[in-house]
């Protein structure tokens, strides 16, 4: 893009940082636009209107909302997405790369590094090397395999058995569960035995511990 003005869409929820980054990029001759609102529709509408070469995307927006779902749609509009974040979890960063981001820039980086990154992406449409990208995606695949193995025992539970396990995790006894659900205590105890069998444990305490250790999504 030699000789052409690089258009940048800056998506950042901290107003002061957004102003500082915008000013720094503008001083370097880049054309910077910030969406008026940071919701999904507003950001995509701004991208469709301004046709940015590069989108600098904060990964965590207002109220902790992740901007990860924005990435593939911004890429479809022809923009190169660079995630600008303080996040250090490599698996979360790998998810951004998998979604289509061409690079990651830390918020702690000096402005000159950010400017250089934007220019490199505008010119080459990438920031990460092939080796860096492959390394991140390999780490993501490994984590997902670990998650599948960790959650495998819970996938064997029926809907009712999952409800029983949730109740046990909450500290409810068979009698309390039976009374709340208007069923016989013997029925609940039978369901608890089925849960223990499928999880491969011998006690309710062990089942609760496994759910906690396995970070079972209640």
What is the arithmetic mean of pLDDT over 49-55?
94
Q: In angstroms, rounded to a whole number, what is the distance separating the alpha carbons of residues 92 and 149?
A: 19
3-state helix, strand, coil in the chain (%, to 5): 60, 10, 30
Q: What's the mean per-residue pLDDT of the chain? A: 91
Q: In angstroms, rounded to a whole number, what is the distance separating the alpha carbons of residues 169 and 163?
A: 10
What is the arithmetic mean of pLDDT over 58-82?
92
For 217, the token pair is 């999504």
What digits encode the pLDDT tens for the residues 11-35? 999 888 899 899 989 998 899 999 9
User: Does residue 218 carry a pLDDT above 80?
Assistant: no
The confidence band for 62, taking pLDDT boundaries of 50, 70 and 90, is: confident
**Which pLDDT does position 216 carry in this prediction?**
77
The confidence band for 2, taking pLDDT boundaries of 50, 70 and 90, is: low
Which residues have C-beta within 8 Å of that of residue 77, sequence separation ≥ 6? Answer: 44, 47, 48, 51
Share above pLDDT 70 across residues of the chain, in percent, rounded to a whole number: 97
**Which pLDDT does position 190 carry in this prediction?**
96
- Hey, what CATH topology would domain 156-213 get? Arc Repressor Mutant, subunit A (1.10.10)
Residue 81's beta-bridge partner residues? Answer: 55
> What phi, psi does 67 have (nearest 5°)?
-95, 5
Q: In angstroms, rounded to a whole number, what is the distance separating the alpha carbons of residues 216 and 7?
A: 44
Which residues have C-beta within 8 Å of that of residue 113, sequence separation ≥ 6? Answer: 105
11, 20 contact by CB (below 8 A) = no
Instruction: Indicate the helix (H) or strand (E) that contains 184.
Output: none
pTM of the model: 0.78
The confidence band for 4, taking pLDDT boundaries of 50, 70 and 90, is: confident
7, 118 contact by CB (below 8 A) = no
What digits encode the pLDDT tens for the residues 160-175? 999 999 999 999 999 9
CA dihedral for 132, 136, 137, 138, sign (positive or negative): positive
- The burial of 95, by beta-carbon neighbours within 10 Å (0-12 exposed, 13-18 middle, 19 or more buried), is given as buried
What digits encode the pLDDT tens for the residues 89-136? 999 999 999 999 999 999 888 888 888 998 899 888 889 999 999 999
**Which pLDDT does position 192 carry in this prediction?**
95
Q: Domain segments of the chain: what residues?
A: 7-139, 156-213
* 7-139 CATH, one of 3.30.450.20, 3.30.365.10, 3.40.50.10490, 3.40.50.2300: 3.40.50.2300
**Which pLDDT does position 214 carry in this prediction?**
67
**Which pLDDT does position 175 carry in this prediction?**
94
């Amino acid at each position: 893009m030699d000789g052409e003005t690089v258009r940048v869409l800056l998506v950042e929820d901290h107003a002061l940082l957004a102003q500082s980054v915008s000013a720094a990029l503008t001083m370097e001759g880049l054309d910077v636009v910030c969406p008026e609102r940071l919701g999904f529709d507003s950001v995509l509408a701004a991208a469709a209107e301004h046709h940015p070469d590069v989108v600098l995307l904060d990964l965590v927006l207002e109220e902790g909302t992740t901007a990860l779902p924005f990435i593939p749609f911004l890429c479809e509009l022809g923009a190169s997405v660079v995630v600008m974040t303080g996040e250090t979890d490599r698996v979360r960063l790998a998810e951004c790369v998998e979604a289509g981001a061409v690079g990651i820039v830390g918020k702690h980086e000096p402005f000159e590094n950010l400017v250089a990154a934007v220019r490199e992406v505008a010119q080459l449409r990438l920031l990460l090397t092939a080796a860096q990208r492959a390394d991140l995606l390999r780490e993501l695949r490994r984590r997902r395999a670990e998650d599948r193995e960790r959650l495998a025992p819970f996938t064997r539970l029926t809907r009712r058995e999952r409800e029983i396990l949730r109740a046990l995790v909450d500290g409810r006894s068979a009698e309390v569960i039976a009374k709340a659900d208007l069923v016989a205590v013997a029925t609940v105890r039978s369901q608890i035995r089925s849960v223990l069998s499928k999880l491969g444990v011998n006690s309710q305490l062990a089942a609760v511990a496994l759910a906690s250790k396995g970070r079972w999504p209640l």
